[in-house]
Amino acid sequence: MPKDTTVSKTTHTTEIFERRESEARSYSRGMPAMFATASGSHLHDESGNTWIDFLAGCSSLNYGHNDPDMKAALVDHITSDGITHGLDLHTNTKADFLTAMEEHILAPRGMDHRVMFTGPTGANAVEAAMKIARKVTGRTNVIAFTNGFHGVTNGALAATGNGYHRGGAGMSLHGVTRMPFDGFFDGIDSADYLDQMLSDASGGIDAPAAIMLETIQGEGGLNAARAEWVKKIEGIAKKHGALLIIDDIQAGCGRSGTFFSFEEMGVTPDIVTLAKSISGFGLPLAMVLVKPEYDVFGPAEHNGTFRGNTHAFVTARIAIEKFWADNSFQSELADKARLIEERLTELASLVPEARLKGRGLMRGVDVGSGELAGKICAEAYKNGLVIETSGSDDQVVKVLAPLTTSVETFNEGFDILIAAARKVLGSTTNIAAE
């Protein structure tokens, strides 16, 4: 009955999007190509143009597009009528994923956390994490930080700092107190400030259910917290009876250079949220890791039709087994992180007062203004590089390439980026000089 079950080969126009898709669409505005296929670190459009991908689905594609091993396993699963949608019933696929997660991720890191599958979006995992902390403590207040980004559903949005996104709520959001992230205000250790606010009996901050943070703020401008600061926050949480939630949705799954972004900090969060790259393949999947003593939800107390996603379990298992069963992938990441730093230093040297941001493979350059950063990325796109900005004024050129990107492709992408910056700065200079 269907016209044709294969991918359409005709060339599409963007009319249908203009006519029928909501104005909420965003990336397609600056990068209007009609994308069709992708593999590894490359995206291709219908007309055969190719882009190197330095965006990686906002860190949802840490292992690149359509990894061949995951692809094969998924096709095999589908072909053999493996479960697609199983609510939260037991499936062999989920069992295999959990086993891999335990064996290669949790156990080696000494984490006895339970895995809770929420609706397959990061926001949903954050919502569940905040609810757990409130249920455990009987308190409402969650401490979140300047420039934090945790999603746009109302519970998570209360914790998100970005004013544009907050404005979308159309109402006041409750239950969160904002505190300065590490380095937000010069001359203070903002962890000490938080401690004093919480310790003063008339400080006016309600006793917290949780302190929630990203160790590297992806959307907020690639602000990387110092390990000492995170460790101090862990102590403050304990002191004030709050749970420590680390939102590792963007910085986790290897992006920081290790599986979890916090694992070399000597910190053990009470709750960790994961999404984006956890499926390995870009499929929707999200989860909450929670210490057993805080695993307080009753059956389906937090539920959702798509909690767990069986296709994603297939690829997620492969991702773990392929990349995290031994230390080799993590070693490569260290090398690539050095390469990224080197090339971004080169970029930064072009812009007066530019600053390197981020950590590991989640890096960028603050070029001082959103206008400049935007122009550089637009120019790069024209020349075959998909790359985006970040930060409260979009002032950071952000590199979130697949972790599996080869050295060659990395350099090719950086060459495009640096040339784009030169061109934009040149024309800027010319304009300024006239």
Q: Whose Cβ is closer to a second copy: residue 122's or residue 265's? A: 122
For a second copy, which stretch binds (CB under 8 A), given 117-125, 260-268, 335-343, 413-421? 117-125
Helices (H), 140-201: 154-157, 163-167, 190-199
Q: Is 88 helix (H, G, I), strand (E, B) or coil?
A: coil
Q: Dihedral sign, CA of 263, 265, 267, 272?
A: negative
C-beta separation of 357 from 396 below 8 A = yes
Contact 294, 268 (CB under 8 A): no
For a second copy, which stretch binds (CB under 8 A), given 234-242, 302-310, 341-349, 412-420?
302-310
The residues in 133-152 that bind a second copy, with binding defined as CB under 8 A, are: 133-138, 140-141, 144-149, 151-152
The whole-angstrom separation of Cα 339 and Cα 237 is: 36
Stretch that binds a second copy, among 228-236, 262-270, 307-315, 358-366 (CB under 8 A): 307-315
Candidates 184, 227, 368, 411; binder of a second copy (CB under 8 A) is 184
Q: Name which position in 48, 204, 431, 434 contacts a second copy (CB under 8 A).
A: 204
Verify binding: residue 61, a second copy, rule CB under 8 A.
yes
Q: List, as own/partner pairs, every contact residues 82-88 make where C-beta atoms lie below 8 angstroms and the sequence separation is at least 24, other chains included.
A: 82/310, 82/314, 83/310, 84/310, 84/311, 85/306, 85/310, 86/308, 86/310, 87/305, 87/307, 87/308, 88/117, 88/300, 88/303, 88/307, 88/308
Token pair belonging to 334: 């260290």
Asked if 14 touches a second copy (CB under 8 A), the answer is yes
Residue of 129, 236, 246, 288 interacting with a second copy (CB under 8 A): 288
Contact flag: residue 321 with a second copy (CB under 8 A): yes
Burial status of residue 81 (CB atoms within 10 A of its CB: 0-12, 13-18, 19 or more): exposed
Task: Quote the least distance from Cβ 410 to a second copy, whole Å.
Answer: 20
369 binds a second copy (CB under 8 A): no
Region from 258-266, 276-284, 345-353, 403-411 binding a second copy, contact rule CB under 8 A: 276-284
Q: Is 350 in the site for a second copy (CB under 8 A)?
A: no
Using CB under 8 A, pick the residue from 41, 52, 63, 120 that binds a second copy: 120
CB distance 368 to 21 below 8 Å: no
- Binders of a second copy among residues 211 to 240 (CB under 8 A) are 219-221
CA 99 to CA 220: how far, in whole Å? Answer: 34
- Pick from 240, 322, 422, 423: which binds a second copy (CB under 8 A)? 322
Q: Is 412 left (phi over 0), alpha (psi -120 to 50) or beta?
A: alpha
Cα separation, 212 vs 210, in Å, equals: 6
Place of tokens 């950086």: 414
Give the span between the Cα atoms of 306 and 297, in whole angstroms: 18
CB of 136 to a second copy, least distance (A): 8
Measured from the CB of residue 347, what is the shortest distance to a second copy in angstroms? 23
Tell the residue number behind the tokens 């990107």, with chain if given: 405
Residues 78-97 that bind a second copy (CB under 8 A): 78-96
Nearer to a second copy among residue 317 and residue 375 (C-beta): 317
User: Among residues 167 and 352, whose Cβ is nearest to a second copy?
Assistant: 167
- Pick from 48, 201, 327, 430: which binds a second copy (CB under 8 A)? 201
Q: Is 382 in the site for a second copy (CB under 8 A)?
A: no
What is the SS3 assignment for 370? helix
Cβ 336 to a second copy shortest distance, Å: 18
Smaller CB separation from a second copy, 305 or 430: 305
**Is 168 a binder of a second copy (CB under 8 A)?**
yes
- Structural contact between residues 389 and 397, judged by C-beta atoms closer than 8 angstroms: yes
- From 233-241, 297-305, 357-365, 405-413, span contacting a second copy (CB under 8 A): 297-305
Number of residues that bind a second copy (CB under 8 A): 178
Using the rule CB under 8 A, which residue among 52, 73, 211, 400 binds a second copy? 73
- 177 near a second copy, rule: CB under 8 A: yes
Alpha-carbon distance of 332 to 311, in angstroms, equals 28
- Please say which residue, 256 or 395, places its beta carbon nearer to a second copy: 395
Q: Is beta strand 243-247 parallel, antiparallel or unpaired with respect to 271-274?
A: parallel
Nearer to a second copy, 13 or 430 (CB): 13
